[in-house]
Structure 1
């Protein structure tokens, strides 16, 4: 039986930074004011569908502070957060690593599809996220 250890507030924020940041990366790849609302709504459905430790981390506590100035700055925060999140889950809740991967990728995909389908820039952002999460296309 796999035991789950409680996550600290800082660890929960790391999971949230990776997940919400992945959505921001995809949304920022093809910016547009109307698109932001549709994309946020679409991503929230994937995030609310999480379970276990992942659900607790993503639906409680404060929202992460994410950069908004440039795609490179966003990526420089988000991709390391995704790596750290996987490490945290591997150590403390290994049964939830797959849940986290699925939720992040589903949220990123729903974000891209929410407004006029997946653009090449959005597909590239999702591929970078998928690479960090260790998922093949």
Structure 2
């Protein structure tokens, strides 16, 4: 039985999704790249449906750290893990959809400006690991 996501649940899903995009974008920063990457991420996140779309498009945006890649990781990766647990508990049919949307957005961001760099690929690997089913 599906349970309704709370505001805190939705914020965790948003922090994970938007944070994953920011984590990959920040892995290889650049002024022009940011514009292309933002458009790419928006397209991927807009492709979400159902509970995932509702979570990502309602309420305030998450506040993400901006000082260092390590600080970003320390917020985003746990949020991704927690998002999977929330969905597994409250909306199990949406777990795979959330993973797919987040990984697609991260991949689109990496490809948006000149192809995927090694630092972007490493960030995507971190995102993929965080989204993996917990033991």
Instruction: Give every structure 1 segment of 4 or more consecutive aligned residues whose post-TM-superposition deviation is greater than 2 Å.
Output: none
Q: Unaligned regions of 5+ residues in structure 2, if any?
A: none
- Structure 1 residue 11: deviation in Å? 0.6
Size of the aligned set, in residue pairs, is: 133
What are the residue-to-residue correspondences of 1:69-80 with 2, within 5 Å? 69-80=67-78
1:13 has 2:18 as partner: no
Give the alignment's TM-score, normalised by structure 2.
0.97
Q: How far has the Cα of 1:104 moved from its partner?
A: 0.3
Give the match for residue 84 of structure 1: 82
1:94-109 alignment, distance < 5 Å: 94-109=92-107
Within the candidate set 39, 42, 55, 2:40 is matched to 42
Q: Distance in 1 between matches of 2:99 and 2:52?
A: 10
Q: 1:125 aligns with which of 123, 131, 135?
A: 123
Over the residues paired in the alignment, what is the CA RMSD in angstroms?
0.9
Mapped to 1, the partners of 2:98 and 2:72 lie a distance apart of 20
TM-score normalised according to structure 1 size: 0.95
Separation of aligned partners in 2, 1:95 and 1:7: 13
Superposition deviation, residue 134 in structure 1: 1.4
2:42 and 2:121 mapped to 1: Cα distance? 19
